[in-house]
Amino acid sequence: MSLHVVMGFGPAGAATARLLAGQGHSVRVVTRSGGSGRPAEPGIEHFALDARDGRLPPGVARGAAAIHQCAAPPYHRWVRDWPPLISSVCAAAEETGAVLVMLGNLYGYGPVVGPLTEGLPLAATGAKGRVRAAGWEAVRTLHEEGRVRAVEVRASDFFGPGVTDGGHLAGRVMPRLLRGKPVSTLGDPDAPHSWSYLPDVARALVEVAGEERAWGRAWHVPTEPALSVREMVDLLAARAGTAPVAVRRLPPAVLGAVGLFSPLIRELKEIRYQFDRLFVVDSTAYEAEFAVRATPVAEQVEETVDWWRERSAPAR
């Protein structure tokens, strides 16, 4: 088995680290906190480092088969903090020869008409989309120069077990849905939208690390057909036994008022277009080349509701 380094231990980083450890690999997780206060998990070591401040200590990544870049600065600090973070992980990949697996998102495309494919130009007009696009372009340039081996896996909005903060089907929805309370959403609740199921994201990140033919380009996470926020809430509420649950669109005036006090809500203005219109991911390129497939929606819903129900259960 191999050594893998995972940058970040948010939902995607944690799911990736646990999947790798479950496959018998040794995993080193790098975060600012170093795993302080977290229970020990077999096969996973934690190291403390703020990658924005400089290069990774050589010993952490030496001998690694892959570095999985799943770390993310706070949402409102992306423009400032992404460049040094990407510079740091690129330096580690170049020094060690480890494959650099980037977790990307869809912001870099900007508003488009029709399904999102990997062949679209990175033409974002917003600051966060531009900084994400620039990060991948810098990594791809290093790959083309032969200085690193790299690949990017792009995901839509996370959803599933382990996703608690923010998220249109996570912290702002699930606790209320489990109680049968109305939920609010950004944008048109009936616009078709692609959702990235977290376990599928982790499986794709792990798979491409070992597939040389994947390197040098970006791929979309295998994704089930798009469903609107209302359709997803209906499915989740049916599984939870709390249906029907009303879905309400947050008026722009309310968003503006809340944004005065919430950096997260204020920053969401840039990607409002993703929820005001059709936002569909085409993952056929990945599915034509590799083994990972999207988990069926019925299983996604079942596992997500069961996880949230267990998490919400009173301690015994």
Strand stretches in the chain, DSSP E: 3-7, 26-31, 44-48, 66-69, 99-104, 149-154, 157-159, 183-185, 195-197, 218-220, 247-249
- Average pLDDT, stretch 187-202? 96
Report the range of poorest mean pLDDT among 10-19, 140-149, 166-175. Answer: 166-175
More confident residue, 232 or 254: 232
Give the per-residue pLDDT at 270. 84
Give the length of the chain.
316
Q: Which residues of 34-56 are buried (b: 16+ CB within 10 A; e: fewer)?
A: ebeeeeebebbbbbebebbeebb
Regarding pTM above 0.85, the answer is yes
Confidence band for 168, pLDDT divided at 50, 70 and 90: confident
Q: 286-291 long-range contacts, Cβ below 8 Å, gap at least 24?
A: 286/204, 286/219, 286/220, 286/221, 286/222, 287/222, 289/211, 289/213, 289/214, 290/204, 290/207, 290/208, 290/211, 290/214, 290/219, 291/207
Q: What is the pLDDT of residues 98-136, one digit of tens each?
A: 999 999 999 999 999 999 999 999 999 999 999 999 999
Domains and CATH numbers, the chain: 3-156+197-220 (3.40.50.720), 158-193+225-312 (3.90.25.10)
